[in-house]
C-alpha cells in the first residue's frame, strides 16, 4: 500500500487554493508543512483528540496525527460535557488539539495544543504500518455509552481507492461539501478522499444551497437534508448542472428528493451505504445505473450477504428481507477496549453484523430497508442513539420515564421525538436540558409529556405504538 496521503497525490501541480475550508485556503505544500509542524509537537502521544470544527485547523490537526502516526479522536464541537468527557476519557487521548474559533471548551483537563495553520516544518516521518490505527471514531451510543471504533490506515486506503474507482474520482475533480468533520462522511471521504486522490477540496463551512451553488465543483457530497434543501431552491439546483456527480449518503435519500434533484440538475444522484465500523461498502457507480431507493452494488474488495433471524441465507429475490452482513478490507479493527462488543458484532465466520435489514435483487442491487432495531435515529445526516437521549432525559430530577423515537420528517429524514413521564417541567425545558448534556443535534425536536408509556408483558416499551 502506498502512503495514505502525500503532498504530491495525483501528480498535479499545486495551487494556492488546493484546500479551502470555510473561506480559508492553503496549498497542499503549506497544508502538509503546517501538519508537520504540529506533528513535531504530538509525536509519541498514545492518541490525540481534536475539537473537530468545520475549519482548516481541523484538517491540519487530523493530518498532523496521520503524519506522526498518532491515532486521531475527532470530537463533535457541539458535544455536551457528559459526551465529551466519556470520549476523552475512554479514548486515552493525551492531548486536545484546538483549532480555535467560537465554542472552545473551558472545562477540559487535558493539555490543550493550539493548532497554528500558519506554522511550517519540513519534518518527515516514516509511513506507519497499514494495520496501525488512524482514527478512533465514536458510535452514536444506541445501546449505551458510545464505543470507540478503531479504523486502520489500510482500511481507509482500501475504501478510498474503491470509491475512487466507483465514482471515477481523479485529481481533475473539485470536491465540494459542507459536512461535519467528525465522522466518516465529512472527514474520511470528504477530506482524506480529496487528499488521497489529489482532487481540490472546497468545504463550504455550512452546507447551504447558496454555498453549494457558488462553489463550482465537479463532485458534491451531501446528506439527504442537504439535498432536500437544494431541491427546494431551483436556482441553486440549476447551478449544479455543470457538476459531474452528486453523492448522497449517511441516510436514505427520499425518492421525491431524488426525482426532483434529477429534474433540476440533470444528474440522478449516486447513493451509497456504509457504517463507521465498515466505512462505505455499497454504492452506485458513476458509469452505471442509479435507481431511487437503492444503494447499488458492493465496492471492489467488499462482500455482502443477507441472513435471516435464524442465521440462514436469505434469497436474493429483491423482496425477502434479511440482516445485511459484510466483510472485506474496509472493516474496522474492533471496538476500543471492548472485546465483548467486538465479538458480538461479528459472526462466527468473521462477517460484520450491520444491524440493518435489506433486500438484494437477482442482479445484486441492494436496498436498505431500515434498522433491525428501532433505536437508531437518522436525523439531518446524523446517527443518533435513542438510548443516549433517553439517558440524558432520565438524568433530570423531574423525569420518571422516557422513550425516544425517530418520526419521519420531510427535511431531516427523521426528527427526534421524546415521550416523557414527568412532573413540574415543560417539554421545551427538557429539550434544552438534553442540549446542555449531549450534542445539540441530539436534542429532541418535540417532547411530549404523557401519563404512562405503553409496555408489553415483559415491561419493554412498545415504541411502535409511540411512533404511530
Question: What is the distance of C-alpha 20 from the center of its chain?
Answer: 20
Catalogue the E-assigned strands of 89-208: 95-98, 112-114, 133-138, 148-152, 174-177, 200-203
Q: Considering the domain 376-467 in this protein, what is its CATH number?
A: 3.30.300.30
Sequential DSSP letters for 259-296: HHHHHHHS-PPEEEEEETTTEEEEE--TTS---TT--B
Q: Considering the domain 1-373 in this protein, what is its CATH number?
A: 3.40.50.12780
Indicate the domain borders of the chain.
1-373, 376-467
Q: Are 22 and 117 contacting, i.e. CB atoms less than 8 angstroms apart? A: no
CB-based contacts of 279-282 (< 8 A; 24+ apart in sequence): 279/151, 279/155, 279/156, 279/159, 279/184, 279/188, 279/330, 279/331, 280/159, 280/162, 280/163, 280/184, 280/189, 280/249, 280/330, 281/326, 281/328, 281/330, 282/366
Q: Is the dihedral of CA 81, 38, 67, 132 positive or negative?
A: negative
Cβ burial of 137 (10 Å; 0-12, 13-18, 19+) is: buried
- Grid cell listed for 96: 486536545
pTM for the model: 0.85
DSSP classification of residue 1: -
Say what the alpha-carbon torsion angle 118, 123, 128, 132 is, to the nearest 10 degrees.
-40
Tens of pLDDT along the chain (468 residues) come to: 479 999 988 788 899 999 999 999 999 999 999 999 999 999 999 999 999 999 999 999 999 999 999 999 999 999 999 999 999 999 999 999 999 888 889 889 999 999 999 999 999 999 999 999 999 999 976 567 899 999 999 999 999 999 999 999 999 999 999 999 999 999 999 999 999 999 999 999 999 999 999 999 999 999 988 998 999 999 999 999 999 999 999 888 877 789 999 999 999 999 999 999 999 999 999 999 999 989 999 999 999 999 988 889 999 999 888 899 999 999 999 999 999 999 999 999 999 999 988 899 999 999 887 777 666 788 898 868 777 788 889 889 899 889 899 999 999 999 999 999 999 999 999 999 999 988 888 899 999 999 999 976 445 688 888 988
Amino acid at each position: 500500500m502506498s502512503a495514505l496521503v502525500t503532498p504530491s497525490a495525483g501528480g498535479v501541480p499545486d495551487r494556492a487554493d488546493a484546500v479551502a475550508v470555510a473561506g480559508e485556503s492553503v496549498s497542499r505544500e503549506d497544508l502538509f508543512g503546517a501538519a508537520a509542524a504540529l506533528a513535531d509537537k504530538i509525536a509519541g502521544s498514545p492518541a490525540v483528540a481534536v475539537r473537530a470544527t468545520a475549519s482548516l485547523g481541523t484538517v491540519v490537526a487530523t493530518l498532523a496525527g496521520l503524519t506522526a502516526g498518532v491515532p486521531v479522536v475527532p470530537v463533535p464541537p457541539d458535544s455536551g460535557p457528559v459526551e465529551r468527557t466519556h470520549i476523552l476519557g475512554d479514548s486515552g487521548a493525551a492531548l486536545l488539539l484546538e483549532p480555535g474559533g467560537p465554542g472552545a471548551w473551558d472545562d477540559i483537563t487535558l493539555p490543550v495544543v493550539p493548532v497554528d495553520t500558519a506554522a511550517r516544518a519540513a519534518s518527515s516521518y516514516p509511513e506507519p504500518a497499514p494495520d496501525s490505527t488512524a482514527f478512533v471514531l465514536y458510535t452514536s451510543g444506541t445501546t449505551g455509552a458510545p464505543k470507540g471504533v478503531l479504523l486502520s490506515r489500510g482500511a481507509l486506503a482500501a475504501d478510498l481507492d474503491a470509491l475512487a474507482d466507483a465514482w471515477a474520482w481523479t485529481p481533475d475533480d473539485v470536491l465540494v461539501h459542507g459536512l461535519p468533520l467528525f465522522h466518516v462522511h465529512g472527514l474520511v471521504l470528504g477530506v482524506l478522499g480529496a487528499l488521497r486522490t489529489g482532487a481540490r477540496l472546497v468545504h463550504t463551512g455550512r452546507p447551504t444551497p447558496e454555498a453549494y451553488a457558488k462553489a463550482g465543483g465537479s463532485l458534491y457530497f451531501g446528506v439527504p437534508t442537504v439535498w432536500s434543501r437544494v431541491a427546494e431552491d431551483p436556482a441553486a439546483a440549476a447551478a449544479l448542472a455543470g457538476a459531474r456527480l452528486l453523492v448522497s449518503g449517511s441516510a436514505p435519500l427520499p425518492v421525491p428528493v431524488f426525482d426532483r434533484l434529477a429534474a433540476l440538475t440533470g444528474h440522478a444522484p449516486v447513493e451509497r451505504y456504509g457504517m463507521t465500523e465498515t466505512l462505505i461498502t455499497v454504492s452506485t457507480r458513476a458509469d452505471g445505473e442509479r435507481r431511487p431507493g437503492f444503494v447499488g452494488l458492493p465496492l471492489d474488495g467488499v462482500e455482502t450477504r443477507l441472513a435471516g433471524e435464524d442465521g440462514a441465507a436469505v434469497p436474493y429475490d429483491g423482496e425477502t428481507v434479511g440482516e445485511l452482513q459484510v466483510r472485506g478490507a474496509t472493516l474496522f479493527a474492533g471496538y476500543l477496549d471492548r472485546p465483548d462488543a467486538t465479538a458480538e458484532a461479528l459472526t462466527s465466520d468473521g462477517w460484520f453484523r450491520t444491524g440493518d435489514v435489506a433486500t438484494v435483487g437477482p442482479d445484486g442491487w441492494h436496498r436498505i430497508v431500515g434498522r433491525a432495531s428501532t433505536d437508531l435515529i437518522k436525523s439531518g445526516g446524523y446517527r443518533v442513539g435513542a438510548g443516549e437521549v433517553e439517558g440524558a432525559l432520565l438524568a433530570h430530577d423531574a423525569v420518571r420515564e422516557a422513550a425516544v423515537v425517530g418520526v419521519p420528517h420531510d427535511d431531516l429524514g427523521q426528527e427526534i421525538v421524546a415521550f416523557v413521564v414527568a412532573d413540574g417541567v415543560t417539554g421545551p425545558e427538557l429539550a434544552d436540558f438534553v442540549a446542555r448534556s449531549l450534542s445539540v443535534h441530539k436534542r429532541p425536536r418535540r417532547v411530549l409529556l404523557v401519563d404512562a408509556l405503553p409496555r408489553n408483558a415483559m415491561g419493554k416499551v412498545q415504541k411502535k405504538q409511540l411512533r404511530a
